[in-house]
Structure 1
Amino acid sequence: MDNLEEDLTCSVCYALFTDPRVLPCSHTFCKCCLESVLQVSSNYSIWRPLRLPLKCPNCRSVVELPPTGVDALPINVSLRAIIEKFQRDGGPHGRPPTCPEHPRQPLNVYCVQDRALICGFCLTVGRHQGHAIDDLQAAYVRERDAPEQLVQQLTDTRWAEVCALAERLEQEKARGEGLVRQDREAVGQFFQGVQRLLERKRDEYMAALDAASAELARSYDPLIEKLKDMQEEQLSLISLGSAVQDEESPLAFLEKVHLFRARVSSLTQTPMPQVVPLYIAPRAGDFLREHWAKVTIGGLEQGPVPKVACHTRGCLGKPAPPAGLSRAWPDPRQRPLPLFALLVLLVAAGLHLDPFGMASLGLSVVAPLGELLQSLADQLVWPFDVQGLLEELVSNVCASVFSLADKTYQHFAFFLQASQ
């Protein structure tokens, strides 16, 4: 059977002959194979235009074909009949294959559920047991028109619906991307505004710190320059002392000693500048924690920026003024000593003449007066020789006033409770 199959195979396509045609040289080939050979021969030929040249693939002889081409060649009827009988009796396309699970069992049953060819054992005892079966040729005939019917379902209406839906989805996507783009712009503008506002607040705070730095420079730079001049003068006098000591002329020595003594006396009698510590208030860390820790984005515009100032501590040892409060510290040359002395004398006289009457004024009079005295004491920059005395005096007066007011309030409360 295998040798017969070789005899029935085309030498061009190496498959069973399909519509075999005989050349004048007695060699047979498939019609489609001869058409391919004829096309190649015509491309490279200068033959007479009314005849078509064809070179036999086996013997290489050239034959002339009529204008109708391969269709004019005779059909090898005997060979075609043999091929059909070979296929019908068990050729490669007619003999059913055997089952891989059950040797020598032909695959002659079509399983409808699994859409596969099976053998009798697969249907009765194998994994296809109970499945619906059919004849392969009958199933093929039944489903032969299925592709055409399925194609008919893909109508123009369906196509239009798909296209319209795709266009609508594209439009919705473009609309959504437009919304996202607008949101991006809104987010960028919002945070740019926040950033600009924060930068403005930072610049304002830095300007306040620059003003404090300038105030420190105005307070300390003249004193530092004065001390540098004194240092230079002292070094100069030390060098001059050595030069005077080496003078050999008595008259010149006396003259230089006189000038040297005058300069030394002037330098030693020059008053030393007083070092008054200046404090920065409010401090940035404390102020930011107290006032900016709870600031919301909406309240950034109202975020406080303090007026940073340099000042000495109060005479009662009070700390720096509250954050955000700016005090104009007076010039030491303009101290209101008469007013302060008058207030101290008035309070002392009131306590001495009528202590209970003074207490009866209550916190509405005594407390504000004490706070006024304390505030005034905080604002003064006292000279070194009287500062301690005045601090002690103000402290004692304020303590007495508040102690007397507290005792009076306790007695009055006890009296009211007893009267009830």
Structure 2
Amino acid sequence: IFPAELEEELNCSICLNIYKNPILLSCGHNFCKDCIENVWESQAAKGTYSCPECRAEYRERPPLQRNLKLCNVIERLLSTQIIQKQAALYCTFCVETPLPAVKTCLQCETSLCETHLRKHNESVDHTLIEPTNCLEGRKCPEHKELIKFHCTNDGTFVCVTCCVAGKHKTHNVETVAEMAEKRKNELVTSHLKLFLQTKDIKQALEQLLINLRFINVAVLIKKEKITALYSEIEELLETALRKTLHTIDAEAKWVLDKVMNQITKLEMKKDNILHKIQEIAGLRDISDPIGFLKESKCMALCVEEEDEDDSDENNNGGNDDEEEETEGLIKEKLDKQMIHLLKRIMNRFIETLYVAQVKYGLILQKDSNLAFDVDTAYGKIILLDFLKKASYVEEEQDYPEKANRFLTFAQVMCSQFFSSGRHFWEFEVSTEGDWSVGLAYKSIKRDGDLSAIGGNSVSWCLNYIDDILSAIFNCKRRLLEREAEAPQKIGMYLDYEAGMLSFYDLTDTLTHLHTFTCTFTEPVYPVCYVFNSGWMKIKS
């Protein structure tokens, strides 16, 4: 068992407990780090600091130097359980048969069983504590009296003699009970602060967990978008490959047909020459001179006519030119056709890839605040959702007269115009009724038959009327085939400098519908037409 005397040497003289994180002062005394810091905090107002044990004074607050050896001793003793809980104590007054003590009297310095405790309490009113055989830590080391007070100046525990006649008689003191009560109140305050901190930490953790779930969901959605984008890219590449190979086959077939025609002609010419050679060989066998001369004259005329035909063909760029042309077709024309074809298909692929990136949110659009211009709206068009939705209604709206207002067709133009760059817009469209969407110059007429979008040379549109989808420019309509039901989402892509306006069906997958190619000479405005309960909404 660890000797009590040695255990006393490991007790802090301030808190009377085993050192916690012991600090060594220059005077040689040790204290718990928290204990000495509390003492020096109380001495800070005086401007001088002193050791609670030997009263050595310091002008400046000494640095805290940890006593590593003492730390090691305490840790080793605790780890090997040398310091153990004291064994059960027995009553001091039970001689023959000692009974376990239930209390220890600080004044009498004895331990008492239940029986002797009752007798003790009948005669005196002393301070009782839990059974212990070590009372040294509860006595003043100088006067050997019980500690009853706490000196607030030095932060040490003192006895009555210290307060009355000792070196603490001019100091501020308080009873141990008062100090304990204050310490309990401080602990209650600390407990409340810690509880509030725990509550704040709990709320922060809950918020972080919510953010974590949100991040996981956002990552999953982003992965799904990227996967869908790459799937569409694969489809686009496969479609581009099929179109390219099909066009190459068509071009090659045209060249091959041309070559085969020339081969057929040469084969026929060869057969004709062989036939004449056989006839000439037969003439050589005629023995009659007159008959030979007659037959050979006819043959000579035929050969001369054949030579004249060949000469005419050569003079007119005949066989030699055809052979040169065939060789040119194979070496040059086919290459040029392929280059032109690949450029066209790659431009389309790049355009479609751009649209796909916008669709999946990988390219941020600068045109997200596109809105309809109420001053251009037809009288039976109502604008909703902050001027982003145009719907056809039967009731005439009370719009003021404006020079830019459409008067003949149920059309409305957007406020923004575009004169450069690449742009992409998405529109939600009704599955019932009629609608059109496209671009127009500001110079488009506002009244009359030529004011319809697509019905003039200053506007282009995708048109859905009577369940028929078509592309219209300058009154020329091109019917568009569609495999699915009526589109519900339309994408419109503009490359101003390249002179390209393309339309896409975004309902399920990215499907190209039509591309207009032209040279834009004025700024263009998005414009739409709705009729017969149709509506159209700009998707931000």
The structure where helix makes up a greater share of residues is: 1
Structure number with higher relative contact order (C-alpha < 8 Å, ≥ 6 residues apart)? 2
Give TM class, smaller chain: under 0.3
* Structure (1 or 2) with the larger CA radius of gyration: 1
TM-score, normalization: structure 1?
Answer: 0.28
The structure where strand makes up a greater share of residues is: 2
